[in-house]
Amino acid sequence: MTSGERGVPTALAGRPWYTANEVLAFLVELAALGALAWWGAVAGDGVVARVLLGAGAPAAAAVVWGLFAAPRARFRPPLAGVLLVKAVVLGGGAYAVHAVGHSAAAVCFAVVVVVNTGVAEAFRRRTGYLA
C-alpha cells in the first residue's frame, strides 16, 4: 500500500473511508446513549429511580457531548478536552454495557470506540477534513 498526501495510505485517503468512519462514530455515540439508558433502567431501586436514571444518564451525556464534543459544539475546548469528554461519554457507555452483565460486549464496544476515535482524529489531522 503506498502513501498518499500527508502520509495517509492511498487506499484510506479517499472521502468514502472518512464518511464511513464518521457514520460509525455517530452509531457508536447512539449506542453509548442507549447503553446508558439501559443501565439506568435496570440500576435504580424502584420505578422512579429507574426512570430517572434511564432518562437522566443519557440526557446528561447528550448535553455534555453537545456542549463540548459535537461537531458544532457550543464550546470548543482543545483536543485534549474534546477527547476527555469523548472518553467519559463513550467509556461510560462501555462501562454501562459491562454493568448490565455483558463484559465481552463491553470490551468489544470499547475497542470499537478507541479505534474509531483514533481513525477519526487521524483523518482530521492528516487530510484536513473537518467534522
38 contacts: CB under 8 Å, gap ≥ 6 = 54, 96, 97, 100
* pLDDT tens by residue, 43-65: 989 999 999 999 999 999 999 99
Q: Which three cell numbers stand for residue 58?
A: 443519557
Q: Could you state, in order of their start, the residue ranges of all structural domains in the chain?
A: 29-127
pLDDT of 71 reads 86
In terms of pTM, does the model score above 0.85?
A: no
DSSP state of 56: H
Taking only Cα atoms into account, the Rg of the chain, rounded to an integer number of angstroms, comes to 17
pLDDT exceeds cutoff 90 at 19: no
